[in-house]
Amino acid sequence: MTRLATLEARLDGPLLITNLINIRYLTGFEASNAALLVAPGDTPKLYTDFRYIEVARATPGVDVVLSKRSILSELAASLKGTLAFEASALPYAQFEVLGGGGLILKPTTGIVEALRAIKDESEIAAIRHTALAAERAFEALTADTFVGASEKEVAWRLHQLLHAHGADNPAFESIVAGGLNGSKPHATPSDDIIPAHTLVTVDWGAVIDGYYSDCTRALATGDLPDELARIYDVCLQAQIAACEGIRPGMTGVEADRVAREVIEEAGYGDHFGHGLGHGVGLEIHEAPRLSTESPDTVEVGQIVTIEPGIYLPGVGGVRIEDLAVVREHGLELLTSFPKELVTVS
């Protein structure tokens, strides 16, 4: 069954899809201006403007409609009755445009995203390929000099290496956080010089053919002070426990708890303030979430990050992250760079 057919089977009325990532997932079509109308019993209609019409007409399984740039204005004038829409993707101003012709608008959330959360084997292979390219770039980075370089210099070198190893782009602005900056989970690379005898947290990923990867390692720049060595060991124990202990059927809260208990028992619970992980696919953050507030359930075929961290203001921090696919009996890791502490010069 195609993705469009799977979606149609879940609908009880027409759904207008305006999230461009969801349109790509369902049809393979990519553009900056498009809408997709899926209704039970009808051929899906793909709307786009002149700039993309030639590519759109090569898209299988849909009827292509040439639209003006203001697609929603045309839809408002031509459609009647009740229309479901993606509430998280439609700004209020566009909601007003769509409803201006008298349509009864029904908000929905997460319908396509629920399909996207379960990856097929071709998607798993694509993400594995992306993760491998990102990992090779990072391995090359560890041969470079860290001590005496700025965080920005290391981040830029990683950017270059990602391209050299086949990435279309970095998945996001890489985090390089040395020394005291390691206590900031989403630190922005700065002009600060990386010192010896500290931890440097590097969070990076790649994008290849639209699919993302995500990984984090903390590197040592020499012998570590006792507190940094301890939090690294505790974080590693928590991360390994989660990788070995998470199973399909767990809630996102239960999965998070596997790692969180290890960190809490070591006395650092107040310093692990974010969730354990998130889904990765055509976006760097997608369903499911593994956290203390997650409404999700771990299911076979999901690809998730496992990334506990410990952050001590005035001391430093550590995060260790793997990318994994959920299989029937547990997690299969898609990242393999060593998690035992690696020392760089």
Which distant-in-sequence residues (6+ apart) come within 8 Å of 15 by Cβ? 7, 37, 38, 39, 83, 84, 85, 86, 108, 111
Tell me the average pLDDT of the chain.
97
Both 110 and 127 in one domain: the answer is no
Total domains in the fold of the chain? 2
Single residue among 96, 116, 136 that ends a domain in this structure: 116
Both 146 and 268 in one domain: the answer is yes
Both 141 and 73 in one domain: the answer is no
* Mean pLDDT confidence for 243-254: 98
Both 126 and 227 in one domain: the answer is yes
Flag whether pLDDT at 113 surpasses 90.
yes
At 53 the pLDDT is 98
Both 175 and 28 in one domain: the answer is no
CA distances from 50 to 37, 44, 54, 61, 99 (A): 18, 19, 8, 20, 24
CATH of the domain at 85: 3.40.350.10
At 1 the pLDDT is 78
CATH of the domain at 160: 3.90.230.10
For 15-33, the pLDDT digits (tens) are 999 999 999 999 999 999 9
Both 112 and 125 in one domain: the answer is no
Both 95 and 144 in one domain: the answer is no
Q: Give strand pairing partners of 305.
A: 323
Flag whether pLDDT at 342 surpasses 90.
yes
Single residue among 70, 95, 116 that ends a domain in this structure: 116
Share of the chain above pLDDT 70, in %: 100
Flag whether pLDDT at 288 surpasses 90.
yes
Both 228 and 311 in one domain: the answer is yes
- 223 pLDDT band, cuts 50/70/90, is very high
Q: How far apart are CA 339 and CA 322, in angstroms?
A: 9
- Predicted TM-score (pTM) of this structure: 0.95
Both 167 and 269 in one domain: the answer is yes
Cβ-contact 327, 121 below 8 angstroms = no
- 136 pLDDT band, cuts 50/70/90, is very high
Single residue among 85, 116, 147 that ends a domain in this structure: 116
Both 105 and 133 in one domain: the answer is no
At 102 the pLDDT is 92
Flag whether pLDDT at 197 surpasses 90.
yes
Residue range of the domain that includes 196: 121-343
